[in-house]
Structure 1
Amino acid sequence: MIPKIAILGDFNPNHFTLHALNDTTRSVQKKLNREIQFDWIATDIFDAKTVFEKHKYLGLWIAPGSPYRDMENVLNAVQFTRENNIPTFGNCGGFQHMIIEFARNVCNIENADHEETNPDAKDSLIKKLSCSLRGEQENLKIIDKNSFLYRTINQDTIIGKYNCSYGISEKYVDILKGRGLSLTSISEDGHYRSFEIQSHPFFVGTLFQPALTSTENQPNPMIVEFVKKSLDRI
């Protein structure tokens, strides 16, 4: 049986970043010399129990492309994979919604929300960046040497490429860290760009999009590591 990984997102053929993600799924299979089935499942039809218990998907990759058609479905999927130790990798919008889910269900910030979809939210965990990162890249410092990110990249810095305008609100960083979220990389101007839960088999979010720094022969190592952790569930 071919192993399967779910891609949670609303595919739009006009978004080059999603084509880059698809390209990376092929390069990872080549890198690992293994056939893997990557299936896009739209946010408005995604049901975690069906996906992971009935259809036996091994991991969840939350694609860029927010606002999603069904934000609550995305948050429910993240909660399910976090609580059931299913490898989860979120980029850009995925990063943002993983933060919101963690804030609501672990930090008890019931009104945690996204400024893009709810500008009047009481607790905007995800806020509009002072400078848009659409089409930009940054040199990031890896600040947690115990992280999956550092152990996988095995260097002190990493290049992050973006296509977004929203990021984590520093106002809530201490609360998130206090409940077990490890912030793992920081930009030169002091903003956090990735996180993980180190007690989880693989629960990693990056505001940058690793698929944008992948090549046909060298897929981004974090994507490769996510796929390996998913395959470990076989």
Structure 2
Amino acid sequence: MIPKIAILGDFNPVHATHHALNDSIRDVKKLLNKEIQFDWIGTDIFNEIVFEKQNYTGLWIAPGSPYKDFENVLKVIEYTRKNNIPTFGNCGGFQHMIIEFARNECEITNADHEETNPDSENVLIKKLMCSLVGEQENLKLIDKESFLYKTMGVDEIVGKYYCSYGINEDYVETLKERGLSFTSKSEEGHYRSFEIKSHPFFVGTLFQPTLTSTTEAPNPVIVEFVKHCL
């Protein structure tokens, strides 16, 4: 049986980041020399029933927010997190993983996103002071016990972005207390990635690893995510 990985996202052919994700898939499959099926599934139709019926072994939450169905994305993330299913989110995926964790593990039941609900009492994801659309940063890996550090094997990496929203750092300590580990910082001191160490693979990056992935050298984080799914 060919292993299958679900991509939760609203594919849009005009988004270069979505094509970059598809390119990285082809490169990883070539590197691993293995047939793997990746299915893009719209945020408004994907749920745990589809997940189980199709026997998906992992979830990749694609960039491209605002998603068609904000609440449904959170439900799918909660399902994979609680069932120890490998889960990887970039940009919008990172943002919604934070919100889901805040709502269900930190008891911030009205945790929200400034892009879709700017008047929320608890905005966990807020507009960045400076947009990162088309930008890149040098990032310091701050947790040497993290999956990210062990995978990359270096103290600093380059992160490329296509986003204007990031974590509201007023909530970082609360998230840490409940089990979220932050793993990288920008030169200005802003957090750009996290993981849950007790989970087989629950990793979020505000930067998009697909944008630094090449045919000759697929991004190691993507490769390791796929390996965990297999």
What are the Cα deviations for residues 100-130 of structure 1, in whole angstroms up to 9, with x where unaligned?
0000000000110000000101100000000
Corresponding residue of 1:138: 137
Corresponding residue of 1:202: 201
What are the Cα deviations for residues 176-223 of structure 1, in whole angstroms up to 9, with x where unaligned?
000000000000001000000000000000000000000012110000
AA matched with 2:38? F
Structure 1 runs not aligned, ≥5 long:
none
What are the Cα deviations for residues 16-47 of structure 1, in whole angstroms up to 9, with x where unaligned?
00000000000000010101000000000001
Corresponding residue of 2:119: 120
Corresponding residue of 1:82: 81
Measured after TM superposition, the shift of residue 55 of structure 1 is 1.1
Measured after TM superposition, the shift of residue 50 of structure 1 is 2.2
Deviation beyond 2 Å, 4+ runs, structure 1: none
Corresponding residue of 1:178: 177
TM-score by length of 2: 0.99
Corresponding residue of 1:70: 69
Equivalences for 1:35-50 in 2 at 5 Å? 35-50=35-50
Measured after TM superposition, the shift of residue 49 of structure 1 is 2.8
Separation (CA, whole Å) in 1 of partners of 2:83 and 2:16: 32
AA matched with 1:191? H
Identity %: 74
Equivalences for 1:164-175 in 2 at 5 Å? 164-175=163-174
AA matched with 1:136? E
Superposition RMSD in Å: 0.5
Separation (CA, whole Å) in 1 of partners of 2:218 and 2:226: 11
Counterpart check, 1:148 vs 2:147: yes
Corresponding residue of 1:105: 104
What are the Cα deviations for residues 71-112 of structure 1, in whole angstroms up to 9, with x where unaligned?
111000000000000000000000000000000000000110
